[in-house]
Structure 1
Amino acid sequence: MNRKWLLGTLLSVGMVPTFAADYTNIILVNLDDVGYGDFSCNGAYGYKTPQIDLLAAQGVRFTHFLAAQPISGASRAGLLTGCYPNRIGFSGAPGPDSNYGIHPDEMTLGEVLKQKGYSTAIFGKWHLGSQHAFLPLQNGFDEYYGLPYSNDMWPFHPQQGEIFNFPDLPTYDGNEEVGYNTDQSCFTTDYTTRSIQFIRKNKNKPFFLYLAHSMPHVPLAVSDKFKGKSEQGLFGDVMMEIDWSIGEVWKTVKELGLEEQTLIVITSDNGPWANYGNHAGSAGGLREAKATTFDGGNRIPCIMYWKGHTQAGTICNKLASNIDLLPTFAEIAEAPLPPRKIDGVSILPLIEGDEQANPRESFVYYYNRNDLEAVTDGEFKLVFPHKYVTYGAYAPGNDGKPGNLATVELRASELYDLRRDPGERYNVLHQYPERAAKLMKIADEKRKELGDNLTRAKGTEVREPGLVAGKERKDL
């Protein structure tokens, strides 16, 4: 039986799960292409993010937080299901004509929390499939306003007609298309306004707000409130407006007296799109950027604040990932986990400051359709031979136009000591063979489970994505 159909039926006839008075609201802010170095508390230049910095000062700042994959669609699929994206057959960034998306039997964060009576909303970018069956209202969310995929998948892409042929970009309100090629300078404000309205409407019951800003993914756009305000040009202006947005949401929580019962999480889907130059962010000195499994692509900022639970000024260096958010939120809400196997682990002890806790002992870096490119235990990282895009062969682009990229090949495995070399520059494989062997064992076990195209391992626990007949699968 389709579990989503059953849950929807129960809700439609009034059989809403009850919830105790003692509950925790959850606000998840997921930014687009924000690199590790793009908050001023992480060293950003030319602009300030004071609201984000204040949340970090009063909460927990994670320094080794990894995206499920270094590209938008797959990363968001991992975040919302608690799975490595390849476990659920999800890869890349599905475009307007793609026939795949979230399978109806996969439970999303929205569906997990609705088991405990949460109201749920997403305002912003979805990117788990744009066909009707894959959209938010069919996958655990009560409200949706925003874009079904990336904001550059439209006719005004700088490489339209050369590489891409995108149709008009729809804006959705619920399941309805309410506009095409909308002026993107309004999105950050509109998402913020909708978020505040949702919080106020649900102030007396548990809610889950997923604020998935379209920015600062290119094309950049900012409202008149922040245009020309930063020393770093349009990118800095956009980051200042995002910071304002987060501040407005936080202010609403405080005004309603909900601060002690609301967890706020701020993170990103992947690293910066570095070949866009002055319209891109910073990986903060990490190697490479988005669309690579070096840490410039996977390591992302993450800040969590929960008054009365987080200890002010905490820095957490433990390994964690956005796939860990689902089991963490489930534990907080006392909600059952999905019946299908997931890969995330609860990091609630890290949020609450348990210095002895180490819930995530390893992480595997998959990319493309199902390539296992690296594995880490949080201290060392073993990278396997693979081809990858490098941002260092050419100068980046400027003012919204991308620079050229080059494809290079890593021909032999390399080991990096991330404690001393977070930039992944020095191969210490021969100095630490025992650590390499430990990581190789983890990788071999995961290959048996999830497969690996690079070694032609099939995997025994890979599930299919949702599919729509007559559409071509397109991964970007």
Structure 2
Amino acid sequence: MTRSRGKPQRMRLLAGLAAVAIIAAAFSTGPAAAQTASKKPNILLIIADDMGLDASRCYQVGEDQAPMPVVEELCRQGMVFDAAYAAPTCSPTRATMITGRYGFRTGVGAAITPQGGTGLSPDETSLFDVLGGNGYASAVIGKWHLAGAADGLDHPARLGVTDYYGTYKGAVKDYFHWDGVENGAAIEVDGYTTTDFTDRAINWVAAQQSPWFLWLAYNAPHAPFHLPPAELHSAGTLADDADEIRRNPLPYYNAMLEAMDTEIGRLLASMPEDVRANTMVMFIGDNGTPGKVAGSFYGARGAKGSIFEGGTHVPLIIQGPGIAAGRSDALVNSTDLFATIAAKTGIHPQTPDAVDLAPVLGGAPGTRSHVYVEHFSDVPPTGPDVYGWAIRDTRYKLVAMDDAQQMLFDLDADPLEQSDLLSGEVSSEARQAAAQLQATFEKLRQ
């Protein structure tokens, strides 16, 4: 497969603008929209790799964010979740979404590397196992990162994925020339991953004759930071220079996000109007923004790899038939995507860690009382990684780092967790909040 360099920039950007128009038109109110909402929906889950809350213009918490007009239109037309959480790194978040279970149950608690980390057991009941007998076509395109060193290239198939294509490990050395896997066979690809995955998604969607679920896991904007093809972004003055990228990676990270947004627009624009109108789009970041590009925004608490807000608070937008437009402060964990997707297809599995978001998508308040995140491994933490667990309710968050005193934060007053309420003179209200969250943790871990 070769990368196309000939298509003009204008064609790519027009595809993205066309998708914005299609999103706006496809979900206008009226009888046609109501009729569409009554059908079994198609479901498109888009995962951005290493994109925290601070990287999205849909959230007013960042300092220098990429233009992403297609995703921003999804935010205007759909439901934006202000309190969505994932694991601090790639593998455990993907494991929670595909099983609906926390990492302490599956054993996947940190990013799987060649040096260690537990792969997701094929004995787990996956989302694809659940959907397999329900008349839905399904596929995974893009980053997998759930297989350990001892797992074979057929690992997706053993978890119920009948059609897999993409980058198998945690990262690629080169976005333009990469090793991957296609349905159990090793492949070598010459093609920009973001474009290649989109091409594959367009062709797969066009071939479907029944309701479908597509897990589209871009490896963007994960490192290595680089300059994407010029037709995919508007940062035309950036130098394609390795030293400059190392010195100032943020503009390149943002260009990678804009390139992904352009290709998401091309995918949405490729769908016939009736297909697009009957497709629920879920967009989520799998963990926080890397520290090299998050800068000092989160201070000493860190970003990707940390159990603090910078590592676990992620963007989540859901848009589609029957979904109310607006913002929700409902607590959401990445496990909840399992229950929500299954329920949208008509299946309601019993999962202790996952909550169906259907009421919230209709405009109702959330039902979660707490969100739990964790980070653990037999391999010692490196660099910015912070191991431990954290649990929050609608106001307070208790953080328990390995071999460290617990910390408590009032997220209403202190969203960046700068003031530990358990240090110095501790109020009775803080003691009570910490005790309640500790009790919730102990009940959960039983």
TM-score, normalized by length of structure 2?
A: 0.78
Tell me which of 343, 359, 363 is aligned to 1:331: 343
Aligned to 1:444: 442
Aligned to 2:187: 178
Q: 1:141 and 1:52, CA in 2 relative to 1: closer, same or farther beyond 3 A?
A: same
Check if 1:299 corresponds to 2:313.
Answer: yes
Greater helix percent: which structure?
2
Deviation of the 1:247 alpha carbon: 1.2
Deviation of the 1:227 alpha carbon: 5.9
Deviations along 1:42-95, one digit per CA (max 9) or x if unpaired, are 25536311000000000011111000x211111111111101012111122222
Deviations along 1:361-414, one digit per CA (max 9) or x if unpaired, are 112222113965221113100122536xxxxxxxxxxxxxxxxxxxxxxx4222
Tell me which of 92, 112, 118 is aligned to 1:74: 92
Query: What is the RMSD computed on CA atoms of the aligned residues?
Result: 2.6
Aligned to 1:7: none
Check if 1:373 corresponds to 2:389.
Answer: yes
For the residues of structure 2 that align with 1:440 and 1:93, how far apart are their CA atoms?
26
Check if 1:249 corresponds to 2:267.
Answer: yes
SS of aligned partner of 1:195:
helix
The one-letter amino acid paired with 2:406 is S
Deviation of the 1:226 alpha carbon: 3.0
Deviations along 1:251-292, one digit per CA (max 9) or x if unpaired, are 233x24123321100001100111x3xxx3579658421111
CA contact (8 A) 1:50 1:243 kept: yes
Deviation of the 1:174 alpha carbon: 1.6
For the residues of structure 2 that align with 1:172 and 1:108, how far apart are their CA atoms?
20
For the residues of structure 1 that align with 2:59 and 2:185, how far apart are their CA atoms?
39
SS of aligned partner of 2:277:
helix
SS of aligned partner of 1:128:
coil
Check if 1:413 corresponds to 2:400.
Answer: no
Alignment of 1:98-177 (within 5 A): 100-129=118-147, 131-132=151-152, 135-152=155-172, 154=173, 170-177=179-186
Aligned to 1:26: 43
Aligned to 1:362: 370
Alignment of 1:389-408 (within 5 A): none
| Unaligned segments of structure 1, at least 5 residues | 1-20, 158-167, 388-410, 450-476
For the residues of structure 2 that align with 1:269 and 1:233, how far apart are their CA atoms?
21
Aligned to 1:311: 324
CA contact (8 A) 2:233 2:262 kept: no
Q: 1:99 and 1:375, CA in 2 relative to 1: closer, same or farther beyond 3 A?
A: closer
Deviation of the 1:239 alpha carbon: 0.9
For the residues of structure 1 that align with 2:140 and 2:114, how far apart are their CA atoms?
19
CA contact (8 A) 1:35 1:284 kept: no
Aligned to 1:461: none
Number of matched pairs: 377
For the residues of structure 1 that align with 2:439 and 2:117, how far apart are their CA atoms?
36
Tell me which of 195, 205, 208 is aligned to 1:199: 205
SS of aligned partner of 1:424:
coil
Aligned to 1:350: 360
CA contact (8 A) 1:33 1:281 kept: no
Deviation of the 1:250 alpha carbon: 2.0
For the residues of structure 2 that align with 1:424 and 1:233, how far apart are their CA atoms?
27
| Unaligned segments of structure 2, at least 5 residues | 1-37, 238-249, 379-386
Q: 1:434 and 1:46, CA in 2 relative to 1: closer, same or farther beyond 3 A?
A: closer
For the residues of structure 1 that align with 2:94 and 2:284, how far apart are their CA atoms?
11
For the residues of structure 2 that align with 1:226 and 1:186, how far apart are their CA atoms?
11
Deviations along 1:310-341, one digit per CA (max 9) or x if unpaired, are 222x1111110110011111111112426xx5
For the residues of structure 2 that align with 1:385 and 1:40, how far apart are their CA atoms?
31
The one-letter amino acid paired with 2:125 is M
Provide the identity percentage: 27
TM-score, normalized by length of structure 1?
A: 0.73
For the residues of structure 2 that align with 1:26 and 1:94, how far apart are their CA atoms?
27
Q: 1:137 and 1:196, CA in 2 relative to 1: closer, same or farther beyond 3 A?
A: same
